Amino acid sequence: MASPIVRRNRNQSNSSQSNKEQGKRKISRFTTRRLAAWAAEVTLVVVSGLVPFSIGAYLNSRTDMNRVPLNPLLVVTEREIARPLALPVSYGTRNVAWPTNFLWTVAILAPLAVSGWQLHLLAKTGSTIPKRNFGIRVIDEKGNPPGIVAVLVREGIGRWGISLSAAYLLWRHSFLFPSVGAFTVLTGLVLLAEATGFLSWRQGGRALHDTIAGTYTIDATKAFTPGQQTNWTQDADEDAAIASVVITPETARPNTANAWWAKLQRNPSVKLLAIACGSMVGVLVTIVATQIYIQTQQNRRAIQQRHSQQFLAIVNQLNPSSHASVEERRSAIMAMGTIQDPQAIQFLVDLLAKETDPAIVETIQQALANIGPAAIPDLKRMNQSLAADLESAGNNPSSDYQGRQQRLQANQQTINKILALHGAKSDDIDLSRAVLFQRGSGDTPLFNLVLDKIDLSGVNFKGADLSYASLKGSSFRGVGEDGRWDTFDDRIADLSGAQIKKANLSEANLSRVLMVRTDFSRANLNKANLSNARLVGANLSSAQLVGADLRGAVLENASLTGADLGEAKLNDADLYAARLGRVVAIGTQLSFANLSKTDWQAADLSGADLDRADLSHANLSAARLTNANLRSANLEQANLRNADLSLADLRDANLTGADFQGAILSPSKQDPADQFVQTPAFGSQSAVVKGVDFSQVKNLDTKQLAYICTQGGIHPRCP
Give residue-wise pLDDT tens across range 613-658. 999 999 999 999 999 999 999 999 999 999 999 889 999 999 999 9
| Phi, psi at 238, each rounded to 5° | -65, -40
Query: CA–CA separation, 719 vs 714, rounded Å?
Result: 10
437 and 417 in one domain?
no
Of all residues in the chain, what percent carry a pLDDT higher than 90?
Answer: 49
DSSP label at residue 68: E
pLDDT of amino acid 34: 86
Q: Is 10 inside a domain boundary?
A: no
Does residue 585 belong to any structural domain of this protein? no
Of residues 316 and 265, more confidence is placed in 316
Residue 688 has pLDDT above 50, yes or no: yes
Judged by average pLDDT, the poorest of 2-11, 278-287, 705-714 is: 2-11
Distance CA 549, CA 507 (A): 10
Instruction: Report CA torsion sign: 136, 139, 142, 144.
Output: negative
Q: Are residues 290 and 411 in the same domain?
A: yes
The answer on pLDDT for 232 being more than 90 is no
Q: Report the chain's terminal Cα–Cα distance, integer Å.
A: 111
DSSP run (H or E) holding 437 = strand 437-439
Residues 292 and 403 in one domain: yes
Q: Distance of CA 248 to CAs 108, 239, 243, 551, 612, Å?
A: 64, 16, 10, 82, 85
pTM value? 0.78
Given the DSSP bridges, would you call strands 67-69 and 95-97 parallel, antiparallel or unpaired?
Answer: antiparallel
Q: Is residue 595 part of a domain?
A: no
Residue 365: the pLDDT is 93
Q: Domain check: are 366 and 302 in the same one? A: yes
Task: Look up the CATH number of the domain holding residue 636.
Answer: 2.160.20.80
Largest CA distance in the chain: 123
Residues 633 and 685 in one domain: yes
Residue 1 lies in a domain: no
Q: Are residues 459 and 518 in the same domain?
A: yes
The answer to whether the beta carbons of residues 63 and 616 sit under 8 Å apart is yes
| 26 in any annotated domain | yes
Domain that holds residue 687: 604-671+678-719
Q: Residues in the chain, how many?
A: 719
| One domain, residues 496 and 407 | no
Strand ranges in 85-230 using DSSP code E only, listed in sequence order: 95-97, 136-139, 216-219
Same domain, 640 and 719: yes
pLDDT at 1: 43
Mean confidence (pLDDT) of the chain:
83
Q: Give per-residue pLDDT as tens, 4-24.
A: 444 545 555 555 556 556 555
Instruction: Grade residue 119 by pLDDT with cuts at 50, 70 and 90.
Output: very high
pLDDT of 168: 92
Q: What is the residue type of 526?
A: N
Looking at the structure, tell me whether residues 366 and 297 fall in a common domain. Answer: yes
244, pLDDT greater than 90: no
Using DSSP's 3-state secondary structure scheme, residue 284 falls into helix
Q: Residue 74 — pLDDT band, cuts 50, 70, 90? A: confident
- Residue 319 and residue 371 in one domain: yes
- Residue at 587 is within a domain: no
What are the Cα distances from residue 240, in Å, to 229, 235, 236, 262, 511?
A: 19, 9, 6, 31, 69
Q: Compute the distance between CA of residue 416 and CA of residue 410 in angstroms, rounded to an integer.
A: 10
| Residues 293, 407 within the same domain | yes
Which of 422, 444, 474 is where one domain is finished?
422
How many domains would you assign to the chain?
A: 4
User: Would 402 be classed as within a structural domain?
Assistant: yes
Pair 305, 435 in one domain: no
pLDDT of amino acid 465: 96
DSSP code of 69? Answer: E
Distances (CA, A) of 406 to 296, 356, 379, 386, 390: 45, 9, 15, 10, 10
The answer to whether residue 251 is domain-embedded is no
442: alpha, beta or left? (left if phi > 0; alpha if psi -120 to 50): left
Which candidate, 649, 494, 486, places its Cα nearest to that of 88?
486
Label residue 59 exposed, middle or buried (CB < 10 Å: 0-12, 13-18, 19+).
middle
Say how many C-beta atoms besides its own lie within 10 A of residue 204's C-beta.
15
How high is the pLDDT of residue 662?
93
Model confidence pLDDT, tens digit, residues 360-413: 999 999 999 999 999 999 999 999 999 998 888 776 656 678 888 999 999 999
